Amino acid sequence: MSEFNQYQKHNYTGIQLTSLMVLRFLTGWHILYEGTAKVLNPQWSSSAFLQESQWLISGFAEWIISNPGILEIVDFLNTWGLMAIGLGIITGLFFKVAAIAGALLLFIYYLNSPPLIGMEYTIPSRGHNLIVDNNLIEAAALILLALFPTSKIFGLDALLPSKEKKDQ
Amino acid sequence: MDQKQKKGPEKNHPAGQNPSGEQGSGKKSNISRRKAVKALASLPVLGLFGHQVLKKRNYDLQNRESVIRELGLDEIEFPVSDYGTQKHDGDLIRIGIIGYGARGDQLANSLGFMHPDQIKHRNEQGTLKEWLEQEYLNVAVTGICDVFDMRRENGLVVAQNKIRPGGRTAPKLPVKAYSHYQDMLDDKDIDAVIIATPDHHHGQMTVDAAKAGKHIYCEKSVANTEKEINALYSAVKASGIVYQLGHQITQNVIYQQAREILNKGLLGKITLLQTFTNRNTSHGAWVRHLDSQGNPRPGSETSIDWKQWLGSAPHTPFSIERYYNWTLHFDYATGLIGQLFTHEYDAMNQLLKLGIPKSVTSSGGTYFWKDGRDMADLLHIVFEYPERDLTLMYSGNLASSLNRSRVIMGNDASMEIGNNIMISADRNSPRYRDKIRAGLIDPGSPMITYNPGAGKIDAVTSATERYYASRGLTSTTINGRRVDVTHLHLREWLKCIRDGKKPSINIDVAYEEGMDCVMAHRAYVEKRVVGWDDVNKKII
């Protein structure tokens, strides 16, 4: 009975909930490992990626690369931001914040080197892309997950005091 | 941990509410517990993640360490640069620049002087700060000499600009303009000169500057003929001045590190060195007398002292084409050899101490740029070092920019050097046979990369690395900072002037590199095998 109520509350069928959970774990896993790999590789720096920058944020990227102090801060924030976002998505803690932050970060990656017509990059891309790439799709998936949250059902957010209780 | 979290929501319950809106004390603890278990449902995923990360980490470490240990690179120590920590105390060095064309201007930038327009441009590009943070070298440009009045004026504006590294404390000395370099050499207020004229002046100017007791930084090539090189070698040796040839590649930290790695003998027996030029633009092919609109660039017989520009070269009527495109004509230069091969040769010479070869053959022709030029646009040079069991091969192409990288080939492995170093094992290497069989080394991809930006050897490589390897050689990375290599090369020269030491491309190295280029040029022009008589020190 109580379980049924919970599904009702979110209007998810069992298969919908399962699909959302699968998508959540996959994106969370991916983002968490992106962060973990950077922590484990002390040589990693975002400078190679930023050097590729074209289009809207290329000036900003150039500014970051040319300031070693700023680059260091960006590298730090990026690495630990990815870790925090990945953990938030998998464990369902502060899930909406994590998912939206993740979507924003991925969208910035996308803007750094969007596969628009006429833009060529020396870093090989994953597969063949035209306007849409993996970053953009993952960002959209995270927005979707934020709009269809599962963290109150399977996630640490369920253990947080509910904001909705006053309405009930 | 689990216990605490399970208790968490129960504390909220005395308020009579829980998130699912369930009421009733009997069900409450049961539901809360179930809910807590569900809240923690993601923990197994996290556990699996941690387990997989550890597994991958161990796998990577084992691979990496066994390769690095096997190669003896775990104890390698690279020289540490003192760049950015040095104060250039001692006397201010007053420099005169002879020849203020494009290269002269770049050299002034590297010394810490820039035209106000360019400062504005770089400020807009966001790259001004990098230049302003260049080490202050404790120098002043106090003389500009050029046979073209526009360039002379331009140089004066640059030398007088107050915005520069060193800030307000940098001394502002008056700058003089000279239209004859001899007048500059006679001036007691000049301590050292930079020669950045067309190549046919290098020989005589070096001799005269050395005799006048001025320290010399001379752009490549050293000189165009054997006679000139012998004369300038004797003059510099007799004078005791500090001479540095403008082969700045040696300042790229990558070469210092490649030398350390080569000393470990990872490549086996080295028998072939290959270097290349890959360019495919009109500017890259030295067609430079027209601006981007196709109009002739400035300069006329009234504004350029043509007689002085020709110097000892055969007389021809004034030609704006010859003035800007002097590289194309053998009256003034040796073409690809003196402009680009010289850098390639220098790179290999710094790594392997090649010296002058026993013999040189050269072939090629003007196959693409049929504009009346003397120089070959497709050129091959083969240098033989039989006593070292070694061949150096150069292939220069001005009609294709397909990237071919500098490679040192040994029977165990080969090394590619661009802006990073990549070493790949040979698939038939005796030394790495076992590692290749065990799957620890993949001969199809680099087994070691060294990226100076990262400051560490890495045995694992990615496709990305390969792409970056081919980047240009205008800057290098020291302690995480991008630094102009010409600036470093000038800095070394100035340091040697103050400390009375020998710079890396000193007159002895310049002698070898100059003779090599003359031999290659003669092999091409005379269509014969040119040799070196090491006893009598002459070309045969």
**Which of A1, A156, A163, A164 would best serve as a mutation to test chain B binding (most B beta carbons within 10 A)?**
A156
Q: What is the mean pLDDT of residues B173-188?
A: 96
Q: What is the mean pLDDT of residues B495-522?
A: 96
User: Does the structure show a pLDDT above 80 at B476?
Assistant: no
B63 in a structural domain: no
**B232 three-state secondary structure:** helix
User: Does the structure show a pLDDT above 70 at B461?
Assistant: no
Is the same domain home to B212 and B272? Answer: no
- Look at B128 and B460; give whichever has higher pLDDT: B128
- Look at B221 and B452; give whichever has higher pLDDT: B221
Written as one string, the DSSP assignment of A71-87 is HHHHHHHHHHHHHHHHH
User: What pLDDT band is residue B11 in, cutting at 50, 70 and 90?
Assistant: very low
User: Does the structure show a pLDDT above 50 at B82?
Assistant: yes
Exposure string of B111-139, with b = 16+ CB inside 10 Å and e = fewer, is bbbbbeeebeebeeeeebebbbbbbbbbb
Number of folded domains in chain B?
Answer: 2
pLDDT digits (tens, 9 = 90+) for B182-220: 999 999 999 999 999 999 999 999 999 999 999 999 999
Is the same domain home to B257 and B400? Answer: yes
CA B198 to the chain's CA centroid: 21
Residue of A nearest to B8 (CA): A159
Q: What is the dihedral of CA B274, B382, B377, B300, to 10 degrees?
A: 100
Contacts of B483 (CB under 8 A, 6+ apart): B83, B134, B475, B476, B477
**Picking from A64-73, A148-157, B226-235, B340-349, which range would have the lowest pLDDT averaged per residue?**
A64-73
- Look at A113 and B269; give whichever has higher pLDDT: B269
User: What pLDDT band is residue A67 in, cutting at 50, 70 and 90?
Assistant: confident
- The whole-number pLDDT of residue B472 equals 35
Is the same domain home to B379 and B438? Answer: yes
- Look at B470 and A66; give whichever has higher pLDDT: A66
User: What pLDDT band is residue B345 in, cutting at 50, 70 and 90?
Assistant: very high
Is the same domain home to B322 and B470? Answer: yes
Q: What is the mean pLDDT of residues B262-280?
A: 92
Chain A: which residues have CB within 8 Å of chain B? Answer: 2, 5-6, 9, 25, 28-29, 32-33, 36, 40, 42-43, 45, 47-48, 59, 62-63, 66-68, 87, 90-92, 122-124, 152-159, 161-162, 164-165, 168
- Look at A126 and A114; give whichever has higher pLDDT: A114
Smallest Cβ distance to A2: which of B31, B451, B482? B31
- The whole-number pLDDT of residue B473 equals 42
Number of Cβ atoms within 10 Å of the Cβ of A110: 18
The answer for B 343-382 residues in CB contact with A (under 8 A) is: none
pLDDT digits (tens, 9 = 90+) for B131-154: 998 999 999 999 999 999 999 999
B81 in a structural domain: no
- The whole-number pLDDT of residue B407 equals 95
Flag if B49 and A161 touch (Cβ within 8 Å). no
Domain that holds residue B378: 251-481+508-539
Average pLDDT value over all residues in chain B: 87
Is the same domain home to B226 and B298? Answer: no
Flag if B20 and A2 touch (Cβ within 8 Å). yes
B304 in a structural domain: yes
Q: Which of B200, B231, B248 is the last residue of a domain?
A: B248
The most confident of B120-124, B395-399, B441-445, by mean pLDDT: B395-399
- The whole-number pLDDT of residue B10 equals 41
Report the CATH number that the domain containing residue B204 is assigned in CATH.
3.40.50.720
User: Does the structure show a pLDDT above 80 at B349?
Assistant: yes
% of chain B with per-residue pLDDT over 90: 61
The answer for B 247-266 residues in CB contact with A (under 8 A) is: none
B436 in a structural domain: yes
B42 in a structural domain: no
Report the CATH number that the domain containing residue B401 is assigned in CATH.
3.30.360.10
Is the same domain home to B243 and B257? Answer: no
Q: What is the mean pLDDT of residues A37-42?
A: 82
B347 in a structural domain: yes
User: Does the structure show a pLDDT above 80 at B386?
Assistant: yes
The C-alpha atoms of residue B360 and residue B518 are separated, in whole angstroms, by 10
Q: What is the mean pLDDT of residues B337-354?
A: 92
The answer for B 37-56 residues in CB contact with A (under 8 A) is: 38-43, 45-46, 49, 53
> Is the complex ipTM higher than 0.85?
no
User: What pLDDT band is residue A167 in, cutting at 50, 70 and 90?
Assistant: very low
Residue of B nearest to A4 (CA): B20
- Look at B179 and B39; give whichever has higher pLDDT: B179
- The whole-number pLDDT of residue B527 equals 96
Nearest Cα of chain B lies from the Cα of A13 at a distance, in angstroms, of: 17
- For chain B, helix, strand, coil in percent to 5 are 40, 20, 40
pLDDT digits (tens, 9 = 90+) for B237-262: 999 999 999 998 888 888 888 888 89
The answer for B 57-96 residues in CB contact with A (under 8 A) is: 57
Q: Which residues pair with B276 in a beta bridge?
A: B395
Smallest Cβ distance to B35: which of A40, A158, A165? A158
Residue identified by tokens 């800095």 is B491
Smallest Cβ distance to A154: which of B42, B126, B129? B42
User: Does the structure show a pLDDT above 90 at B113?
Assistant: yes
Which chain A residues contact residue B44 at CB under 8 A? none
pLDDT digits (tens, 9 = 90+) for B91-104: 899 999 999 999 99
Residue of B nearest to A9 (CA): B20
Is the same domain home to B298 and B234? Answer: no
Residue of B nearest to A124 (CA): B464
User: Does the structure show a pLDDT above 70 at B507?
Assistant: yes
Number of Cβ atoms within 10 Å of the Cβ of B232: 28
Is the same domain home to B206 and B340? Answer: no
Task: Please tell me if residue B126 touches chain A, with a CB cutoff of 8 Å.
Answer: yes
Flag if A159 and B36 touch (Cβ within 8 Å). yes
Q: What is the mean pLDDT of residues B435-453?
A: 78
Is the same domain home to B241 and B259? Answer: no
**B449 three-state secondary structure:** strand
Which chain A residues contact residue B448 at CB under 8 A? none
- The whole-number pLDDT of residue A82 equals 94
User: Does the structure show a pLDDT above 90 at B48?
Assistant: yes
Q: Which of B200, B228, B248 is the last residue of a domain?
A: B248
- Tokens representing B322 are 């010859």
The C-alpha atoms of residue A157 and residue A150 are separated, in whole angstroms, by 9
The C-alpha atoms of residue B112 and residue B488 are separated, in whole angstroms, by 12
Flag if B451 and A5 touch (Cβ within 8 Å). no
The C-alpha atoms of residue B231 and residue B221 are separated, in whole angstroms, by 15
* B260: nearest Cα among B73, B423, B419: B73
User: What pLDDT band is residue A120 in, cutting at 50, 70 and 90?
Assistant: confident
The domain spans of chain A are: 20-153
Q: Which helix (H) or strand (E) holds B531?
A: strand B530-533
User: Does the structure show a pLDDT above 90 at B352?
Assistant: yes
Smallest Cβ distance to B42: which of A40, A59, A92? A92
- The whole-number pLDDT of residue B127 equals 80
Q: Which of B215, B248, B281 is the last residue of a domain?
A: B248
| Contact yes or no for B175/B159 (Cβ under 8 A) | yes
pLDDT digits (tens, 9 = 90+) for B284-305: 899 999 988 888 899 999 999 9
Is the same domain home to B242 and B320? Answer: no
% of chain B with per-residue pLDDT over 70: 89
Smallest Cβ distance to A161: which of B12, B20, B456? B12
Q: What is the dihedral of CA B208, B212, B217, B221, to 10 degrees?
A: 10
Burial of A75 by CB count in 10 Å (0-12 exposed, 13-18 middle, 19+ buried)?
Answer: middle
- Tokens representing B393 are 């091969």
Is the same domain home to B374 and B225? Answer: no
- The whole-number pLDDT of residue B31 equals 65
Average pLDDT value over all residues in chain A: 84
Cis peptide before A125 (omega within 30 of 0): no
Is the same domain home to B400 and B531? Answer: yes
The C-alpha atoms of residue B386 and residue B354 are separated, in whole angstroms, by 11
Flag if A158 and B27 touch (Cβ within 8 Å). no
Written as one string, the DSSP assignment of B237-297 is HHHT--EEES-GGGGSHHHHHHHHHHHTTTT-SEEEEEEEEE--STTTTT--SB-TTSPBP
Task: Please tell me if residue B129 touches chain A, with a CB cutoff of 8 Å.
Answer: yes
Flag if A5 and B20 touch (Cβ within 8 Å). yes
| Contact yes or no for B516/B356 (Cβ under 8 A) | yes
Flag if A32 and B38 touch (Cβ within 8 Å). no
Flag if B458 and A45 touch (Cβ within 8 Å). no
- Look at B474 and B244; give whichever has higher pLDDT: B244
- Say which amino acid occupies B263: N
